[in-house]
């Protein structure tokens, strides 16, 4: 699998979805290191952090590749430190749960066409788990391949499906 090659420690991915989190990359790095997501704001004016929301045998995670834009590389220069990958991993023993909120299905052919070709997310996903300091939750917005993630995660965690 292509995704398995991208993840650290050779984790074998059973399902994944392209998604983004409305956190700055620096905030997401701190969350992956153990900070509570509630300590960080999710401002709407920032560039979201894109990654792979994945399920594997021992948990659920969100992996952000260490890529940088051409302008960021130029400003960093040769002496700067390159970005590190981010792997926010929630093991199954943390009792993760997910709520998947999908938009209502359009009733007309025009509505279905617009939905298919719009930039709106396929679903909003709220991932909740128990951390060292209590319950934690994060919001993700799935853009593509949601069915693969949903199918792989369904056998591992409790998933609640809702419609807007």
Which residues fall within 8 angstroms of residue 12, CB to CB, at 6 or more apart?
1, 4, 56, 57
In the chain, the domains with their CATH numbers are 2-163 (2.30.29)
Q: pLDDT tens across 95-119, in order?
A: 899 999 988 888 888 877 877 777 7
Which residues fall within 8 angstroms of residue 136, CB to CB, at 6 or more apart?
36, 37, 38, 128, 129, 130
Decide if 142 contacts 123 (C-beta within 8 A).
yes
Q: Which of 136, 141, 96 is nearest to 121 (CA)?
A: 141
**CA 4 → CA 8, 55, 90, distances in Å?**
8, 11, 17
For residues 25-35, give the mean pLDDT: 91
What is the pLDDT confidence band of residue 5, given thresholds at 50, 70 and 90? very low
What is the pLDDT confidence band of residue 76, given thresholds at 50, 70 and 90? low
Which residues fall within 8 angstroms of residue 160, CB to CB, at 6 or more apart?
97, 98, 99, 100
For residues 82-100, give the mean pLDDT: 89
Identify the pLDDT of residue 110: 84
Q: What is the pTM of this model?
A: 0.82
């Amino acid at each position: 699998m292509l995704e398995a090659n991208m993840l650290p420690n050779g984790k074998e991915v059973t399902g994944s979805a392209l998604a983004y989190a409305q956190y700055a990359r620096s905030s997401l790095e701190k969350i992956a290191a153990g900070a509570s997501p509630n300590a960080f704001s999710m401002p709407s004016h920032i560039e979201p952090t894109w990654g792979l929301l994945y399920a594997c045998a021992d948990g659920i995670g969100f992996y952000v590749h260490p890529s940088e834009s051409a302008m960021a590389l130029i400003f960093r220069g040769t002496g700067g430190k390159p970005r590190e990958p981010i792997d926010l991993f929630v093991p199954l023993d943390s009792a993760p749960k997910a709520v998947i909120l999908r938009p209502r299905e359009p009733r007309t052919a025009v509505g279905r066409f617009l939905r298919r070709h719009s930039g709106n997310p396929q679903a909003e996903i709220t991932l909740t788990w128990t951390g060292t300091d209590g319950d934690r939750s994060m919001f993700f917005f799935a853009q593509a391949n949601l069915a693969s993630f949903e199918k792989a995660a369904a056998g591992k965690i409790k998933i609640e499906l809702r419609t807007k």
